[in-house]
Each structure stands twice: as C-alpha cells, then as structure tokens.
Amino acid sequence: MRFWFIILVLFAAFLVTFRFEKIPVLILSKEGKVVYTKKLEDGKFILTFVHSVEKTPVYEFYEILGDDTLYLYKTRYSSMGAGLPFQAEGRFETKNGFFEAEISRRFKEISLRVSPLDGHGLLFKDDKVMFKDIANSNDLLVLSCKHSINVDFRFK
C-alpha cells in the first residue's frame, strides 16, 4: 500500500512540475522520408513561390488545424495572371501593391515540385526554409502536418 502511495505522490509531483501541450508540427517529406520538420507554436506558416508565367511572388497563408489538416485561409500576389485567383471566397482587396484574397481550403497534404527558380519555400514568424536548400530541382516534396506532445518545465 505504501509503495502505491509513493508512486501516486511522485506522479502528482510530475504532473504539477511539467506542462503538456499539443504543438503543431510541419513536415516536409521526399520519397517517404522526412527531410524537414518545424514545430510551430502559433500553427501558422506561409508557402511562397514565384509564379511561373508572371515571375512575381505569391504568398499562401496556412494554419495547422487540430485535426492535422493544412488550412489555406489567404493568398497574396502582385499581378493578375494565369492560375491566380480573380475571385475571393471572402474579402478581396489591394494592400501595399498586392492583391489579397480570403480563401477557405483544407488539405491533408500538399505535393509540390521543387522549382529551379529562387524564392520557393516556407516562411515562418521566426525563420524560413527554401526548398532548394533541402532538395534538388524537380524533386517531389510532400507537405503535411501532425501534432506532437511537448513537455515543458512549468516553473521557468
């Protein structure tokens, strides 16, 4: 009986000392192997690329949802061209020389080819990763996400 009481006290002390959080994690894979991961405290990132025809930057704004889906909620671009949205699913406006459109799309994963052009990658609040830095031109990358349990000391 005393043994179980000690175990219970130690377990309670452990729970009081540490904080457990579900943290969204962005994953880039190539041929089924993970080549890049990033924990995102805010769950948000930007996929950026250069439009193949217009040669202008495009920014797609994503959030990782609790069900491990990638939610595209906004896109920003500077020129109207083939393949770029001309109707928003919500608000559409011009801001600082860019067109900005609200969009509402969910993806389990996004497959993309690494472009030989510079400017294709992921932007984060505190960092960035360019696809050419982690893969070769024309490689197929798969962007997905999951949630991970983060254990943190409660008394910092």
Higher pLDDT, 93 or 40: 40
pTM: 0.80
Mean pLDDT of 56-69: 93
Tokens describing residue 63? 């959030």
In the chain, the percentage of residues whose pLDDT exceeds 70 is: 81
Residue 153 confidence class, pLDDT cut points 50, 70, 90? low
Please write the tens of the pLDDT for every residue from 131-141: 999 999 999 99
Residue 9 confidence class, pLDDT cut points 50, 70, 90? confident
Bridge partners (DSSP) of residue 60 are 47, 75
| φ/ψ of residue 137, rounded to 5 | -55, 140
Contact residues for 73 (Cβ-Cβ < 8 A; gap 6+): 61, 62, 63, 102, 103, 104
Higher pLDDT, 29 or 54: 29
Bridge partners (DSSP) of residue 121 are 48, 130
Higher pLDDT, 72 or 100: 72
